[in-house]
Amino acid sequence: MTELPNLRPSPIAGLWYSGDREVLSKQVDDYLASAQIPQLNGEVVALIAPHAGLKFSGRTAAHAFRAVMGKSYDLVAVVAPFHAFHPATMITSAHQAYSNPIGPVWIDQEAVSEVDRQLRQNIYQGLTPIANDGEHSLEIELPFLQRALADPFKLLPIMLRGRSSQVIKALGQSLKDVFSKRRGLLVASTDLSHFYPQPVADTLDNEMLNQIQAFSPEGVLNAERTGTGFACGSAAVAAVMWAARELGANAVELVHHSTSGDESGDYNSVVGYGAAIILKRP
C-alpha cells in the first residue's frame, strides 16, 4: 500500500480565508491585480507582509507579493511569529507539506536540516519540529505565493517564539548561508500595532515602518522593546533583514499601510498592517 503524504491540515481555511479553491484563488488574484507599487529598480530579496484574515489584511499583503508576480524561486522561507505558548525558541513543521484549498506547499527538508544544523553549531539550539500546529501567521502567506509565483516552490517554514538578538542574528546568518546557494525568496510575516484607536495606531505603526524603511533590524527590535512601535513579528522581520543584508540587499521600499479599521469601518480599536519590499540595488 502506498503511504499517504504527511500533510499539515489547515486550521484556518474556511475561517481566515475561504475554504473553496476557486473562491480563494479569485480573491487573492483580485487583491494582486489591484495592488499598485512603484518601479522597484532592483532585485527583490525579501518581502514583509501582514498575516491577519484575508478580508482585513489581504489588500495590504498583496502590495508586497505584487513585487514577485510571475517570478520563479526554488525555495521560499516564510519566517513568522508563533503566537501560542511553546517552550522552544525556533519552531518548524514536522509535516512534509502545508495543505490549503489551492493545493499542498511542499517543505524543503534539506533546507530545514541545513538551517537546523548551522544553528546548533553556532548557538547550540536549533529548529524544533511540531505537528498539527494552529499558527496562522505562516500559513496565511502561502496562497499569495501560490498565486503570485509562476512555478511551484519548496517552503522553508520557521516560526519564532524568542526575541533574543543573538538568536535572531544567528537565524539571519543561517538563512543567508542557505540562500546564497539557492534561487530563493525570504518572507517576513508580521502585523503592526494591536487594538489601539486609529490615531495611536498610526503613530506606533509609523515608528515601526520608519525603522523598516531605514533597513534597521536593530531599530525594529528596539522599537518593540521600548514600546515606541509594535510588530508581533518583529523578530521575524529582524531575522529576514539581517539575512537580506548579508545577501547584498541595500534598500527597503514601503508599499502599503492600512489598519483593520479601513476594512471594517471601526477605528476605535484597530490592528495595523504594513507591506515592504527589500531590494538589492546597484
Rg (CA), the chain: 17
Q: Which of 262, 20, 259 is CA-nearest to residue 143?
A: 20
pLDDT in 10s for each residue of the chain, 282 residues: 445 569 999 999 999 999 999 999 999 999 999 999 999 999 999 999 999 999 999 999 999 999 999 999 999 999 999 999 999 999 999 999 999 999 999 999 999 999 999 999 999 999 999 999 999 999 999 999 999 999 999 999 999 997 899 999 999 999 999 999 999 999 999 999 999 999 999 999 999 999 999 999 999 999 999 999 999 999 999 999 999 999 999 999 999 999 999 999 999 999 999 999 999 999
The third-level CATH classification (topology) of the domain covering 7-280 is Protocatechuate 4,5-dioxygenase; Chain B (3.40.830)
> What are the strands, taking DSSP E only, across the chain?
7-8, 43-49, 75-81, 90-93, 97-98, 105-106, 128-130, 154-160, 184-189, 194-196, 251-259, 270-280
Report pLDDT for 142.
98
d(CA 259, CA 275): 12
Strand, helix or coil for residue 43: strand
Q: Name the residue ranges covered by the structural domains of the chain.
A: 7-280
Report pLDDT for 252.
98
Instruction: Give the Cβ contact number of residue 207 at 10 Å.
Output: 19
Strand, helix or coil for residue 138: helix
**pLDDT tens digits for 235-252?**
999 999 999 999 999 999
Report pLDDT for 1.
42
Report pLDDT for 3.
58
Cβ atoms of 46 and 278 within 8 Å: the answer is: yes
Mean pLDDT of the chain: 96
**pLDDT tens digits for 68-117?**
999 999 999 999 999 999 999 999 999 999 999 999 999 999 999 999 99
